């Protein structure tokens, strides 16, 4: 199954390291990140889950709940968590799904047969409170993800969901943003009272409205 931006994120029930969960119930009204890793007790995955755990406070600040997945069984997950905590100096306290029958992996298209017929690639989905897919990122097994970039795009998604703005290349929270073309230039002062610049008729910037 190929999920696209704006599609409803499929719901599922699954065994995890914190017990059985219903995905929608777990998310509640929060934003969510669902991400897969190829296998337990592998080096890149160890660093990724450790980094996610170390950024727990940043995700919580943004009202984001995290859920990881691999096709390995629950007992391996629980044993591996000890290694992650030891080597990455962290405390993994988010659920890791044991997707042995590949139900969730197939629902979300996490297995790419030309890369591996048995293991999940590094898929990552950002899901909004409306349970729609807001962002997808797919990395090969050999390349670890940049979780600071994940935080950056969540900042952008949450900002642009609430204001008529877009974020430019390399934007970071607190920097100027772009006024979307649907807003007429003459309407900008009322909508964005902090001021604006007209660089081109189609390129107008304004200070970040929620700062």
45 catalytically annotated: yes
> Exposure of 210 by Cβ count < 10 A (0-12 exposed, 13-18 middle, 19+ buried)?
exposed
Nearest to 35 by CA among 64, 8, 6, 57: 64
Considering the candidates 34, 45, 69, 151, report the single residue annotated as catalytic: 45
Q: What's the rounded Cα separation, in Å, for the pair 139 and 59?
A: 21
- Beta strands 96-98 and 197-200 are unpaired
CA–CA gap between residue 74 and residue 187 (Å, rounded): 56
**Cβ atoms within 10 A of the Cβ of 125, count?**
21
User: Catalytic residue positions?
Assistant: 45
């Amino acid at each position: 199954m190929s999920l696209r931006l704006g599609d409803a994120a499929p719901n599922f029930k699954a065994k995890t390291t914190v017990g059985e969960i219903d995905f929608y119930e777990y998310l509640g009204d929060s934003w969510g990140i669902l991400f897969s890793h190829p296998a337990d007790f592998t080096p890149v995955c160890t660093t990724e889950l450790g980094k996610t755990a170390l950024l727990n406070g940043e995700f919580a600040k943004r009202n984001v709940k995290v859920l990881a997945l691999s096709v390995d069984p629950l007992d391996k997950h629980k044993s591996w968590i000890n290694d992650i905590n030891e080597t990455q100096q962290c405390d993994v306290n988010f659920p890791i799904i044991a997707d042995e029958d590949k139900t969730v992996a197939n629902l979300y298209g996490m297995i790419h047969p030309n890369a591996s017929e048995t293991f999940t690639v590094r898929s990552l989905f950002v899901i909004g409170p409306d349970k729609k897919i807001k962002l997808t990122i797919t990395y090969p097994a050999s390349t670890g993800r940049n979780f600071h970039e994940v935080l950056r795009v969540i900042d952008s998604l949450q900002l642009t969901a609430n204001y008529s703005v877009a974020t430019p290349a390399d934007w970071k929270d607190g920097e100027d943003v772009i006024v979307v073309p649907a807003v007429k230039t003459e309407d900008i002062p009322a909508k964005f009272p902090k001021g604006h610049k007209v660089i081109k008729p189609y390129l107008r910037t304004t200070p970040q409205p929620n700062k």
